[in-house]
Chain A
């Protein structure tokens, strides 16, 4: 496996369900990101993790709970979602190199398409 892998690719859940999205990167990167893309809208940054520590929470509702157990894995736990949370959820990773500000490139996974009924 190479790059950034997201599972599942498609998920349908009811509003009372609890589910999780998983992201795994095989690039040796130290930063990971969750983005949300609703229909016909730009990507919205949700969370940023650097060396497993959350460094950005873009005012995301608490029904979305991220978890980053190590630099290679990122989860998004979903609970009591609303139909308007239906979207494409994209994971990305990058390598932050001290002293090389220009070397940081974001690599995305293919996304998990979530439908909330």
Chain B
């Protein structure tokens, strides 16, 4: 399973863009990158995912480097409600073909007023 590495914590001023990096240097060609966030003791919430092209939705943008060894999640205008732990995951497969998501330690983002 491809592992991910993220900084343990980051601060961001409210209203500014939050850029959260992730390294996944052992990713294989057909593995997707997913981002989730977890707000204090709730279930993780899906944010965005991608394979090799940059992606954007109503929550965030995902920038994946050309060699796919790293990616950046961008929250364009962070609010206090974006304070959470953000997880970058490389989705892999079980031996029987089901997808599995292995969570790392994530980045604790604190948005400051």
Report A's interface with B, CB cutoff 8 A: 4, 31, 33, 35, 42-45, 48, 50, 53, 55-56, 88, 90, 92, 94, 96, 101-102, 104-111, 113
Contacts and interface: CB of A to CB of B under 8 A. Distances in A.
Interface string B6-29: 000000000000000000000000
Contacts of B42: 110-111
A106 B101 contact: yes
Given A101-B30, A101-B32, A110 B101 contact: no
Nearest to B89: A106
Contact of A43 (B44, B45, B98): B44
B27 to A, nearest CB: 14
Given A42-B103, A43-B103, A105 B46 contact: yes
Nearest to B104: A42
A111 to B, nearest CB: 6
28 contacts: A31-B98, A31-B99, A33-B101, A42-B103, A42-B105, A43-B87, A43-B103, A45-B100, A45-B103, A48-B100, A50-B98, A55-B96, A56-B100, A90-B43, A90-B44, A92-B43, A96-B98, A101-B30, A102-B32, A102-B49, A104-B91, A104-B99, A105-B46, A105-B49, A106-B46, A106-B101, A110-B43, A111-B42
A9 B89 CA distance: 26
B49 A88 contact: no
Nearest to B91: A104
Contacts of A96: 98-99
Interface of B: 30, 32, 34, 36, 41-46, 49, 51, 87, 91, 94-106
A92 B105 CA distance: 19
B91 to A, nearest CB: 7
A45 B100 CA distance: 8
A102 B51 contact: yes
Contacts of B95: 55
B94 to A, nearest CB: 4
Closest 8 pairs (CB-CB, A-B): A108-B43, A43-B103, A55-B98, A50-B98, A55-B96, A56-B94, A55-B94, A42-B103
